[in-house]
Structure 1
Amino acid sequence: MTDRSGRPRRFNPFTALGPGLITGAADDDPSGIATYSQAGAGFGLQMLWTVVLTYPFMAAFQSVCARIGRVSGRGLASNIKRVFPPWVVISVVGLLLVANILNIAADLASMGEAAALVIGGDQHLYTAGFALLTLALQIFVPYHRYVRFLKWLTLALFAYVAVAFIVHAPWREVLHATFRPKLKFTAAEATLVVAVFGTTISPYLFFWQASEEVEDIAPAGQHPLTEAPREAPAALKRIGWDTYVGMGFSNLIAFFIILSTAVTLHAAGVTEIKTAGQAANALRPIAGDFAFALFALGIIGTGLLAIPTLAGSAAYAFSETLGWKEGLERRLRDATGFYGVIAVAILAGLALSYSPLDPIQALFWSAVVNGVIAVPLMAVIMLVATRRSIMGRFTATFVQRVVGWAAVAIMAMASAVMFTQLGAG
């Protein structure tokens, strides 16, 4: 990267944060908060190790996705289409849309529930308001402005760090449980470990980060690295920093959600949590009104961050597959199909949140669909990242290949456990 005088710009660790930070923060959506809350409430401190273990795999895999977008100047679906038959891409993108709509439904319901708990009023009105707000922001605010809004929203997640310090965690026990856990491998424990892995490493994050890297190329006066190799050192350094910090932030917040619910709810005998709002409400008599309010407001903040990511990732994937113009920087009239998918995803999620399908069922089926597509999609992404016809001389590094394929193997095992549990049930 150079400034106007043509001299290389100094690396700024703060301005370098972008797609990776937002992607990581969006991973801690209300449905993720519910999963982490259940981990803490059900098993206490003994689930803290899971977010430490998932970090290197999540970070390495997301950096591969970001690299594909920055190097090729195309999103994941567009690149997958160059390597695999159309039916492969259409199948994956169709399942992604279904999973994201179910996830949006669960997140909207949790946000409405949290708002009603904090300020009172009709939960359904809040749910509809949040849906329409996120839809309007994506359609009418250009990406270069909208992304600033998303960056500021990541601060909402610090609420969960604050909660953990308000309730005075036993830090020696925390360290012991994190790095020397006592594993029992019961069916319930195995199922929840799978849920944590599935929540942490999710297909929609792959598409979103790759596409946002593409979005950032033109406004910054840059080019795909296959066309401008001289930009590679600065660009790849930024991607590494952005992604590893962003995923670290994501897992840090997950760690503190498990921690805060473990030392409050689990310690008080509350072991069953179904929604993020229920976790917030259960905190009130145990940890006080301030901790309750922080937890609930965090649900709303991260929901406003996650829903655009869920809807946007589906829209990018669909548009790239069908050859439509796409991008949050485009006007509505220039990318009607792209924005149409965003609208369908959010409004369908809103409709489901009013339907008899409760948030728990929505999360369950979202996890199932993600379990179906995660492993083959991850394998496909790794094959794309190592193909010279797409990546030129900027194929995935040796470390990215090793850790990326290890992530594929771990998710394969997690999916196998999930389907075994479903069959046993």
Structure 2
Amino acid sequence: MRFGPGFLVTAAFIGPGTITTASMAGANFGFSLLWVLVFSITATLVLQGMAARLGLVTGMGLAESLRENLSTPWARWLASVLVVSAIGIGSAAYEAGNLTGAALGIQSLLGGQLQGWSLLLAAVAGALLFSGRYALLEHTLIGLVLLMSLVFITTMVMSRPDIPALFEGLLLPSIPAGGLTTTLALVGTTIVPYNLFLHSSLVARQKQRLEKNELRKIQCDSGLAISLGGLITLAIVSTASAAFFGQQLEGGSGMNAGNMARQLEPLLGSLAQYFFAVGLFAAGLTSAITAPLAGAYAVCGILGWSTDLNAKRFRGVWASILLCGALGASTQMSPVAVILFAQATNGVLLPITAIYLLWLMNKKALLREYRNGFKSNLLAALIILFLLGLSSYKLWSLL
């Protein structure tokens, strides 16, 4: 089969933040939180599957659909403010971390100044986006995802994880003492609202014929790519568990995505260090490309602007996101206030977007025979209830 938009979704959610969160989960709690990953990937498959079907059937991305189907001006205005805040500003806030993560990976391999690598990688991401060639972007990101898969899975195999304990963590849900925050972080780093906008827009822009065979191809692509993303995250958790479980490391005292590559050397040897550094580079670069792209699709779609890759406003939005990230990475600023704002707005946006998507997927006039069935609605409703609880907890903790 041909790889497609689903792999860009995986490229988007496997980034330095995911590596750090998965590393913390494995280091502090071993395999006990792997069941959270199973839930997160299942929820992502359901929601992204609906988003992709929406794009294929309607020919519109989620943002355009949101704008077209909200009947009152105040509702469209509120949606525009929320999407621009959560997706546009949020992407800019996280972009510095994406570039820094990629730069840390390449610095571990080649040395040099972190700021210089950050600026160079921002230029590479900008050149790919400015080319306006979707095929080039897709092939680059798919290649980087496959590279991540190779290096992280190989590193996991080298770490020789405890297989019975791994399956126990996958199948027996439990939250160990002090593990609630990490549990929520694992969910939040996998189920992200801008991927719903990105996936639907990428499928819609292909303008393929609406056939059940085509829908099946899109579903297979999404299932394979998102499952592969889950496997990558599982590999990171497993490697961190084998290397660090029992040390009770904290994110600010030695355990982060930048230095984990070096810390693995005593257990796995020098090759594993370089493998992990390559994976970190690939994860950071994929997110550094997809975050501006997703932000541009969401912002331009909700504001009624063209979502063509060569449109001036589209380029202006992704360039602004990339520039903010490059400035943050090159000056090593920590935009804490902006990131907290982005987390809060994303916490509000995710369940609202999921509820709207579920409502839309039941509109017979819009989707005809492609609308949701009972089982899909039940599963989506359960996921949304959990996301509402997650968002409420996030907002409470931030405030």
TM-score over 0.5 for the alignment? yes
Give 1:391's match in structure 2, choosing from 352, 367, 379. 367
Q: Does 2:249 align with 1:271?
A: yes
Shift of 1:321: 2.2
Moved more, 79-88 or 158-167: 79-88
Q: Does 2:282 align with 1:292?
A: no
TM-score, normalised relative to structure 1? 0.86
RMSD: 2.0
Determine the structure 1 residue equivalent to 2:186: 196
Give 2:130's match in structure 1, choosing from 131, 139, 149. 139
Q: What are the within-5 Å matches in structure 2 for residues 26-425 of structure 1?
A: 26-84=12-70, 85-95=75-85, 96-158=87-149, 159-184=151-176, 186=177, 188-217=178-207, 222-223=208-209, 225=210, 231=211, 233-267=212-246, 269=247, 271-274=249-252, 275-328=256-309, 331=310, 335-355=311-331, 357-358=333-334, 366-423=342-399
| Cα distance between partner residues in 2 of 1:129 and 1:145 | 19
**Once the two structures are superposed, what CA deviation does each residue of 1:149-182 show, in whole Å capped at 9, x if it has no partner?**
2211111222111111111111122112221254
Shift of 1:144: 2.2
| Cα distance between partner residues in 2 of 1:28 and 1:43 | 20
| Cα distance between partner residues in 2 of 1:45 and 1:265 | 12
| Cα distance between partner residues in 2 of 1:317 and 1:125 | 30
Q: Identify unmatched segments of 5+ residues in structure 2.
A: none
| Cα distance between partner residues in 1 of 2:69 and 2:42 | 27
Question: Secondary structure of the residue that 1:74 maps to in structure 2?
Answer: coil
Give 2:10's match in structure 1, choosing from 14, 20, 24. 24
How many residues align? The count is: 390
| Cα distance between partner residues in 2 of 1:177 and 1:279 | 22
| Cα distance between partner residues in 2 of 1:365 and 1:356 | 19
Conserved? CA contact 1:49–1:181, under 8 Å: yes
Conserved? CA contact 2:118–2:330, under 8 Å: no
Conserved? CA contact 1:191–1:418, under 8 Å: no
Question: Secondary structure of the residue that 2:259 maps to in structure 1?
Answer: helix
Question: Secondary structure of the residue that 1:358 maps to in structure 2?
Answer: coil
Q: Identify unmatched segments of 5+ residues in structure 1.
A: 1-13, 226-230
Identity of aligned residues (%): 24
Shift of 1:418: 2.3
Shift of 1:193: 0.7
Distance verdict in 2 for CA 1:247–1:314, change over 3 Å: same
| Cα distance between partner residues in 1 of 2:398 and 2:379 | 28
Question: Secondary structure of the residue that 2:250 maps to in structure 1?
Answer: coil
**Once the two structures are superposed, what CA deviation does each residue of 1:313-342 show, in whole Å capped at 9, x if it has no partner?**
1111222223222223xx3xxx00001111
| Cα distance between partner residues in 2 of 1:299 and 1:361 | 25
